[in-house]
A and B are shown apart, each in its own frame.
Chain A
Amino acid sequence: MMTTSWRFAVIMMLAFMLFHPQTVLAQVRAKAEVDCQPAAEKLQYDCIIKLTNSRTNEQLAGFDLMVGADMPSMPAMHNVRPVKADEDQEKGTYKARIVLEMYGDWALHLDLIGPVRDRVVKVLRFERDRVGEPTSAQTPAHQRH
C-alpha cells in the first residue's frame, strides 16, 4: 500500500516538474548606479539612482521604481518600508529618501514595478556620516604587517 502511494507521489511530482509552464519573457534587464548621502535626520539617506538597460546602455526613463532594503547579515528580519523613487530631470535618474533601522551593510532592493518588472540589488555600507563600499565578509583576527 505504501509503495503504490509513494510511486504515485513521485510520478506526480516528476510530471509537475516536467510540464510546469515556464515562460521566459524577453525583457529589459536593468543596471543601476546608486549614490547615497546621509540626510539631515539620523539613519535617513538621500539616494540618487541611475538606471540603464544593461544590454543597450540606454537610460531607462519613465519607470515606477520602489526602493526597499534588507540586511544581508540578518536575512529577512529587517523590513524597511519600500519608498517610491521620484524621477529626476535628468533622463533615467531617480531620487529616493530611504529610512534605515541601523548602521551597517544593507542590500538595497531597486524594484522596477512598471511597465516592466525587475529587481536590481546593490549592497552598500551605511554609516553615520557616509555611505561606502560594503565591508568584506571577513573579519581578520589580526592584521598582518
Chain B
Amino acid sequence: MDLLDLIDTIQSIADGVLFGTTYALLGIGFTLIFGVMHKINLSFAAASIGAAYASLLILSAVKAPAVVVFLMAAAAGGVLGGLVYLVGFKFIPLANPLATLMSTVGLLLLIDEIIVHTTAGVPLNYPALFSDVIVPIGPFNLRGDLMFVFVLGCVCMTVLLLLLYRTKLGLATRAVSQQPTASQLCGIGIMRVNILTFVITGVVGGIAGAMTGAAIGMLSPLLSLPLTVKGLIVTVIGGLGSIPGAIVAGLVVGGLENFFQFLRGVSERDLYIMLLLFAFLVFRPGGIFTVAAGRD
C-alpha cells in the first residue's frame, strides 16, 4: 500500500468516525431505554427519521433558518418518544419480554408507512449545514457538514451525560434501572421516569435523525431499517445498557464501516459489520463494556 492509499484510508476512516456520532446517539437511545426498562425499542430509529421528517414539515410551513430545523427535529423526537411509550409500552404486558419487541416492530412499520404515505415514498432534500466548508489538515480534508454533525453529536452526548450524572432526574433514572421496586418505595414514580426517559431518548433520536439527514443531504423512509440495524449493532457491541460503550462502539462502527467501504466497496461494507456483530454476540455477548451480560 503506498502513501496515497494510506492517506485515503485514513481519510475515509476519519469521515466514518465523524459520521459515527450519529450511530453513537442512536446506540445511546437504545441503551437508555434498555437501561430503564430492560426492553429494546425497535421503533427508535424509525421514530428518529420520523422526527427529522416532521422537522422538514414544520420548516416548510414556517420560514426559518436551517439551524432551527435541528431544534424542531429534537422537539418532534421528544413528542414521538412519548407517543411510542404510550402506544408500544404502557399497555403491553411487560412480563413477556418478547411482546414489546413485537409491538415496537409494529410501530416501526407504522411510522415508516406514515412517512411513505405523506411523501409518496419520494426522498426529500434535507438542509445540509456547512456542506461547502472543507477544513484541510495536513494531507487530510475534513468535510464541514460531517464536522458539524460530529460537534453537534458531541454536544448532545455531553449534555446527556451531565443530565444523567449531575441531576436528580438522572439519579432517579439510574435508580429505577437498578432497583425498580426499591426506588418506587423511595417515592420515585416509575411511570414518570419511564415517560421522561422515552422523551429524552426521543430528543436524542430526533437530533440523530436530523444529523443523518444533514450528512446525507436527504431523507428517505428506506433509511429507518438500516439505521435500526446499525443502532442495534452499536448497542450490542458497546454492551447493552452501557452509555460509554455505545459512544465508543458508535465511533468504531462508523469508522470501520467507511474503512470497509473504502477497501471492499459499498455492497460488501455491511457484510463485515454484520460479521463483527455476529462475532460479538457469539463470543462476547456482553459487548466491549460488559454491564448486563446475558440479561433478558
CB–CB under 8 A between A and B in the complex? yes
A-side residues, CB < 8 A to B, are 102-104, 127-128, 135, 138-145
Stretch at the interface among B64-72, B115-123, B240-248: B115-123
Residues in A with CB closer than 8 Å to B122 are 103, 127-128
Between-chain CB contacts (< 8 Å), 27 pairs: A102-B116, A102-B121, A103-B116, A103-B120, A103-B121, A104-B121, A127-B121, A128-B120, A128-B122, A138-B267, A139-B220, A139-B222, A140-B216, A140-B266, A141-B19, A141-B212, A141-B216, A141-B226, A141-B230, A141-B257, A142-B19, A142-B212, A142-B216, A143-B216, A143-B217, A144-B261, A145-B143
With A and B bound together, what is the CA distance between A63 and B223 in angstroms? 42
With A and B bound together, what is the CA distance between A135 and B222 in angstroms? 11
Residues in A with CB closer than 8 Å to B120 are 103, 127-128
Residues in B with CB closer than 8 Å to A140 are 216, 266
Q: Can you list, as one digit per residue, whether each of B1-39 has a CB less than 8 Å from chain A (1) or not (0)?
A: 000000000001001000100000000000000000000
With A and B bound together, what is the CA distance between A127 and B222 in angstroms? 15
With A and B bound together, what is the CA distance between A104 and B220 in angstroms? 12
Q: Is the CB of B121 within 8 A of A138?
A: no
Residues in B with CB closer than 8 Å to A138 are 266-267
B-side residues, CB < 8 A to A, are 12, 15, 19, 116, 120-122, 143, 212, 215-217, 220, 222-223, 226-227, 230, 257, 261, 266-267
With A and B bound together, what is the CA distance between A141 and B121 in angstroms? 18
Residues in B with CB closer than 8 Å to A143 are 216-217
Which one, B217, B226, B261, contacts A139 given CB within 8 A? B226
Other A-B pairs, 13, CB within 8 Å; known A128-B122, A141-B226, A141-B227: A103-B120, A103-B122, A104-B121, A127-B122, A128-B120, A138-B266, A139-B220, A140-B266, A141-B216, A142-B19, A142-B212, A142-B215, A143-B217
Q: Is the CB of B223 within 8 A of A139?
A: yes
Residues in B with CB closer than 8 Å to A127 are 120-122
